[in-house]
Structure 1
Amino acid sequence: MARRVLILVEGTRSNGLLYVQAAQRLGLHPITLSVDPAQYDYLAAEGSEAIRVDTGNLDALIGECSRLRATNDIAGITGLAGDDESVSTTVGKLCRHFDLPGPDPASIEGCCDKFTQRQLLAEAGVPIPAYRVAVNATEVESSAAEIGLPVVVKPAVGSGSIGVRLCRNVDELAEHTSYLLGGKHIWRSSPRILVEEFAQGPQYSATIMGNEVICISTCDFAPPPYFVYLGGTDPAPLTEHEHRRIADASLSCLRALGLDWGPTNVELRWTKRGPVVIEVNPRLGG
């Protein structure tokens, strides 16, 4: 009988071992595909199988998975995305190719572009901050004037709060715009900047699997102007009413974005008008 394998695209230094151990508990043989398996110490420590492959090359991944399928029963393909949603997109494409359950890659790609995400959420009536998109310093300045300072300025495509800053006055706005457009920030695509209303209030994170809210946690950050995540409290100390409002807002995001499979992380702030969605990530929280 062919062994049943779970293919893991890349790993993480923080919780990658948990994925390997969970697969083993389910009677599956985990195989990690990575551009550099040696960077994940737990693979060697556990004696877990790993294969070196360019995980940024979809054709190379399809070829390697096809080779593995010739002698194994592939039970599933998943990815340890960390803060990199591109892994989730790749996993979705692999699952579609091999007719395995997985996320819709088109929905993930739409979600990863923060401007597209904002548009889809706004069209669905999900409460979000006021926002504008800009491609140069003049547009950033006019967008901030329309919304009103303070504003949050961030790349339209990115993760891990890289390039995200609270701009409280025109000097900070000009400084951060210069940083983003002056060659210091590494862009994944053509430069586009989101200028957003600063939604003020305590921040929460909803962890969702499929269409079920698993938990809602508080989020604690270092002092502004940057949004450096320090930790949180799980579960968040919420009333039943607050919990329901946050859960309902989070699930409405999934419907708006077409995310109905696998893990999702929704970040919200509780403002004067209730929960306002800051960001939706098609993965577990980083």
Structure 2
Amino acid sequence: MNRTAASRRLLMVMPYSQFVRKAAEAGFEVWAIWDPSLREQAYLDEVAAHAQELLLTDFGDEAGLRTLIAETVRAHGIGTVLHLGAEESMPPALAEAEALGVSPNPAAAVGALNDKAAMRALLAARGLSPVRSRTAGTAEEAAAAVAGLPLPVVVKPARASGSRGIALIRDADDLGEWTARVTEAGLAGPYLVEEYLEGPEYSVETLSADGEHHVIGITAKQTTGAPFFVETAHIHPAPLGPDERAALHAVVIGLLDLAGYRFGPAHTEVVLTAHGPRIVESQTRLGGDRIPLLIETASDYDIEAAIFRTLAGAPVEPPAPRHTASVGFFLLPAGRLESVTGLDAIRALPFVHVLHFPFRPGDELPPTTSSATRHGYVVVDAESPAEARGRIARVRGLLRADVREAALTTTPKGALR
């Protein structure tokens, strides 16, 4: 097979269905690898619809995943292997891709960004975004690390994703509760213990090509605050002054340069403290919480499609937002949903782009302690952040849910977020 043909053959590990479709639309022949335990069959069928072949394996079997990648690359003359899904299965996939010479990134660069402790160490070694921190191998060692920093601190597993195992530690009770919870959840170390960063939080979406990093957009985050810190809304583009925006650009691009990241998206969370921007964490994937849709709604820029245009050789052209977009999440009382009204009225609003409410009467609504236990969301457009906030409030007011609340329980002070 000639080199040009190989360059259009793409193997994607854990690709979301729209990624496969958009890669095919960009001219790639796509092979896809998924773990069937992570998605229902209907979703896997969507992935297969635009792929040359859908291959199934257990992502927990690292040797098996590496073998399948190697066999597929050799059998089909694959030119590039990409992994844009959850971080846990990235290390073996990218290590094998690098060994085969078909990874657009050094595996070490991706590891330095996705591993929270490694990222913090990299930043500390270069004096960028200074944050007081300690790394602990076990939960018991984390307790000693907490004692070495002024309270409050944040403690989190270095290699977990989706905000699992993160807690604000204010006292010994919080620490004991966190230890019990990560042990029960099987969230092993290493753990990162670091100072609690105060200030507004932003997520910075970037797209890199040949080691050049382009900021696609900055999104402002709203949360419930301590102890759970669950995101309640995002606004894009974030209302920032030019100096604040430049400072966020500089610290994120500095991190990507230090890591040696070469190609693809990155999602970096930053707190704008009184002492300047401080990086919270970074992942070599797109942001969740419908942030790509917010970018597209505000800017008519499809960052997902841009990944594959860039891989095909097109230049990255960051968009200029023309509108404001916001996602607002529903946080209802926990308990049995007796009835719900207002959904049709919400869908009829001209500024509503997406309404997601996956519950029916009779369903149990879980308590909202993490992003995975929120109760749906709405995406709206607006002409300003203030108008976006007003429209989210209007939608929330229209949603009327009758919930037979669960028996009250004591909320653990050191609850995970």
TM-score normalised to structure 1 length: 0.84
Structure 2 letter corresponding to 1:194: L
1:8 counterpart = 2:12: yes
Length-normalised TM-score, structure 2: 0.59
Q: Which runs of 5+ in 1 are unaligned?
A: none
Provide the secondary structure at the position in 2 that maps to 1:147.
coil
Aligned residue number for residue 104 of structure 1: 106
Task: Name the structure 2 match of 1:160.
Answer: 162
CA distance in structure 1 between the aligned counterparts of 2:99 and 2:269, rounded to whole angstroms: 31
Cα deviation for residue 250 of structure 1 reads: 0.5
**DSSP-derived class of the 2:135 partner:** strand
Amino acid at match of 2:171: N
Deviation at 1:64?
Answer: 2.3
Secondary structure of 2:54's match? strand
Q: Which residue of 1 aligns with 2:224?
A: 222
Task: Provide the rounded CA distance (Å) in 2 between the counterparts of 1:217 and 1:250.
Answer: 14
1:284 alignment partner, SS class: coil
Q: CA deviation at 1:7?
A: 2.0
1:64 aligns with 2:72: yes
Q: Do 1:36 and 1:52's aligned partners in 2 also have CA atoms closer than 8 Å?
A: no
- 3-state SS of paired residue (1:236): coil
Q: 1:193 aligns with which of 183, 191, 194?
A: 191
Which of 260, 275, 278 matches 2:277? 275
* Aligned with 1:148 (options 125, 147, 150): 150
Task: Note the alpha carbon deviations across 1:25-56, whole angstroms, 9 max, x for none.
Answer: 21223222223297363553472334333254
Which residue does the alignment assign to 1:35?
Answer: 35
Pair 19,155 (structure 1): closer, same or farther in 2 beyond 3 Å: same
For 1:103-182, list aligned pairs within 5 A: 103-135=105-137, 139-180=141-182
Q: What SS does structure 2 have at the residue aligned with 1:153?
A: strand
- Residue 60 of structure 2 corresponds to residue 53 of structure 1: no
Would you say the 8 A contact 1:92–1:102 is kept in 2?
no
Aligned equivalents of 2:180 and 2:49: distance in 1? 48
Asked whether the equivalents of residues 155 and 168 of structure 2 are also in contact (C-alpha less than 8 Å), the reply is yes
Contact 1:88 1:282 in 2 (8 A): no
- In 1, Cα distance between equivalents of 2:197 and 2:142: 18
In 2, Cα distance between equivalents of 1:274 and 1:40: 47
Over 3 Å counting, the alpha-carbon distance change for 1:6 and 1:135 in structure 2 is: closer
2:24 is aligned with 1:24: yes
The 2-side partners of 1:7 and 1:138 are apart by: 41
SS in 1 for 2:145: helix
Q: Is the 8 A contact 2:205 2:286 kept in 1?
A: yes
Q: What's the offset of the Cα at 1:276?
A: 0.7
What is the Cα deviation at residue 249 of structure 1?
A: 0.5
- Distance in structure 2 (CA, Å) of the matches to 1:62 and 1:20: 20
Superposition CA RMSD, Å: 2.6
Distance 2:18 2:139 in 1: 45
1:150–1:164 Cα change, 3 Å? same
Contact 2:69 2:97 in 1 (8 A): no
Percent identity for Structure 1 against Structure 2: 28
SS at match of 2:91: helix
1:255 aligns with 257
The runs of at least 4 consecutive aligned structure 1 residues that moved more than 6 Å come to none
Higher mean Cα deviation, 87-96 or 97-106?
87-96
Question: 1: distance between equivalents of 2:75 and 2:233?
Answer: 42
Cα deviation code 1:209-233 (max 9, x no counterpart): 1111111111222342123334411
- Alpha-carbon separation, structure 2, partners of 1:93 and 1:123: 24
Match of 2:201 among 171, 178, 203: 203
**Aligned residue in 1 for 2:246:** 244
Structure 2 stretches lacking a partner, 5+ long? 289-417
Q: 1:39 to 1:138 in 2, by over 3 A?
A: closer
Q: Secondary structure at the match of 1:237?
A: coil
1:90 Cα offset (Å): 4.1
1:274 Cα shift? 1.3
